[in-house]
Amino acid sequence: MKILDTVIRVGAQRPFTVLHASDTHLTCADERDDARKLALAAVRAACFPEAEDCLRRLTALAQNEGLPVLHTGDLNDFVSFANLDASRAFTAAVDCFMAAGNHEFSLYVGEAWEDAAYRAQSLDRVQAAFTNDIRFCSRVMHGVNFIALDNSYYLIEPWQLERLKAEAAKGLPMVLLVHTPLYSAETLAVLRQNGRLRPEEPAYLMAVPEQEMRGYDDHRYRQQLADGTTREALEWICAQPLLKAVLTGHLHRDFEADITGTLRQYGVGCTTVRRIRFV
């Protein structure tokens, strides 16, 4: 597990430290689930061999340093009894503030079109493993308002935008936790640096302009095309002076990129923990 130390200026009442992790992708399953889930777990465990060890190390780091964990989703690779047990154990062992990722609601990975109806099949069961509302929740620490917002299907829903606007009315500096990074021209440029993301590849960002989606295949285009509320939400976020930082994941890589001249987003990969000093 890699630790990155980062300082972010937000106007806190006093400096404080948190841990940001994302995309742990636990792949546990046992006899309580069916044979198909066990087979899936075996395949997916090979993709995320360090998941359980990373979660153990993250738990120890949070406990030893007495720090809260901000997790931006995909703690679980798929819904299983064993994964949800591990989530419950983690959120009981550390102070975890969580925003859902798309995999949180995956019954079997890649089996189905993932939308609100699909999420509804497991939402109550998944939510019960966490201590805050993983689709929208806010929490104030040292005068800074942290907002966990589930945008993991590349969409922000009208009720979420209304609640986001209500958070701004509190008048506190805000830090947004979202699973899917937000589109900005600089973010796209950062991801495309060194050819790691080719221009014809989907960017897996929220609210990418249609002219940047010309190379997407039909599936990724339909999956990632923003609706009106989502575009309005990004415009609002970009114009919101109280919003000081965005913490995100989904891309399975460490990155930082400006969203606007005064708002920057910070992503972490599956095996990285960012230890953030907010000042």
Does 33 bind Fe ion (CB under 5 A)? Our answer is no
CB nearer to Fe ion: pick between 152 and 230: 152
CB nearer to Fe ion: pick between 23 and 114: 23
Two tokens at 205?
Answer: 């960002």
Nearest-approach distance from CB 233 to Fe ion, in angstroms:
21
CB nearer to Fe ion: pick between 12 and 29: 29
Interatomic CA distance for residues 4 and 14, integer angstroms: 21
What's the sign of the alpha-carbon dihedral 49, 51, 53, 58? positive
Interatomic CA distance for residues 224 and 20, integer angstroms: 25
> Which residue stretch of 22-30, 35-43, 197-205, 253-261 sits at the interface with Fe ion (rule: CB under 5 A)?
22-30
Interatomic CA distance for residues 227 and 224, integer angstroms: 9
Does 74 bind Fe ion (CB under 5 A)? Our answer is yes
The residue with tokens 């465990």 is: 45
- Interface residue with Fe ion among 8, 10, 23, 152 (CB under 5 A) is 23
Nearest-approach distance from CB 25 to Fe ion, in angstroms:
6
Two tokens at 182?
Answer: 């937000």
> Which residue stretch of 23-31, 83-91, 130-138, 161-169 sits at the interface with Fe ion (rule: CB under 5 A)?
23-31
CB nearer to Fe ion: pick between 23 and 150: 23
Following CA atoms 89, 90, 93, 96 in sequence, which dihedral angle do they give, to the nearest 10 degrees?
A: -140
User: Helix H segments across 109-171?
Assistant: 116-120, 123-127, 158-168
What is the contact mask toward Fe ion in residues 157 to 186, using x (rule: CB under 5 A)?
Answer: ------------------------------
CB nearer to Fe ion: pick between 23 and 157: 23
Among candidates 102, 110, 52, 106, which has minimal Cα distance to 74? 102
Contacts to Fe ion by CB under 5 A: 23, 74
